Amino acid sequence: MINKKVQNVEEALRDIKDGMTIMLGGFGLCGIPENSINEMVKKGTTGLTCISNNAGVDDFGLGLLLHKRQIKKMISSYVGENAEFERQMLSGELEVELTPQGTLAEKCRAAQAGIPAFFTPAGYGTEVAEGKEAREFNGKMHIMEEAFKADVAIVKAWKGDEAGNLIFKGTARNFNSCMAGAAKITIAEVEELVPAGALDPNQIHIPGIFVQRIFQGEKYEKRIEQRTVRQRS
């Protein structure tokens, strides 16, 4: 029986090195690989290029790596709620490649599927299109976008088995599902890790063939980026 389980986050991230390009799942603070991010902070890995929809908040998620100046370049779709991200970008300390959100997702999915490039109308006529091939399809201009080339993808799932099969919960699926299998190595951290064969095949979102290492995380905070409440009447 295939067994991709590793004992802990330290073993899972043992060969993460300076200068790597790393995909990290999540949207805002939803579905982020908290354990893996904390381990990279602890390891002090630097010069990283991080591909993620955004960079968490100042004191949580990828914001922790930004505060430690461990990220050299961010490839994301928006600055979001992270004031430190904004400050480093405007000061020139951090290289930032802003990408339309749909294009970001498709660049992940293309890498996952082994497709080297694709055409999209998003960004045509803007700075996004600079230096990229443009073609007309059905009377509309498109630009060519290349699939991402990442060393490691780190994703977070609700439940997984020792063969690497993953189940996401609700909106925490977000970018995790298209990043799994989109890099040379995919590492999955899960809230619950069960023996191979324990998951209902009909419930599996990502098959284990896309995952090389899996471990059970712990002590998830699951912070809420913006909490909006109303007074009871």
Domains of the chain, with CATH numbers?
9-117+148-216 (3.40.1080.10)
Instruction: Say if pTM beats, i.e. exceeds, 0.85.
Output: yes
Dmax (CA) of the chain? 57
What is the percent of the chain with per-residue pLDDT over 90, rounded to a whole number? 78
CB-CB contact of 17 with 177 (8 Å): no
Per residue in 30-45, pLDDT tens? 889 999 999 999 999 9
CB-CB contact of 217 with 182 (8 Å): no
| pLDDT grade for 84, boundaries at 50, 70 and 90 | confident
| Helix/strand/coil for 165 | coil
DSSP summary character for residue 21 = E
| pLDDT grade for 166, boundaries at 50, 70 and 90 | very high
Which DSSP string do the residues of 60-89 spell out, in sequence order? BTHHHHHHTT-EEEEEES--TT-HHHHHHH
Average pLDDT over the chain reads 93
For the cut 80, the answer to whether the pLDDT of residue 99 exceeds it is yes
| pLDDT grade for 51, boundaries at 50, 70 and 90 | very high
Within 25-163, strands assigned E span 48-51, 71-76, 95-98, 117-120, 134-137, 140-146, 150-161
Average pLDDT over residues 64-76: 94
pLDDT at res. 38: 95
Instruction: Please give the Cα distance from 221 to 60 (Å, whole number).
Output: 10
For the cut 80, the answer to whether the pLDDT of residue 221 exceeds it is no
For the cut 80, the answer to whether the pLDDT of residue 80 exceeds it is no
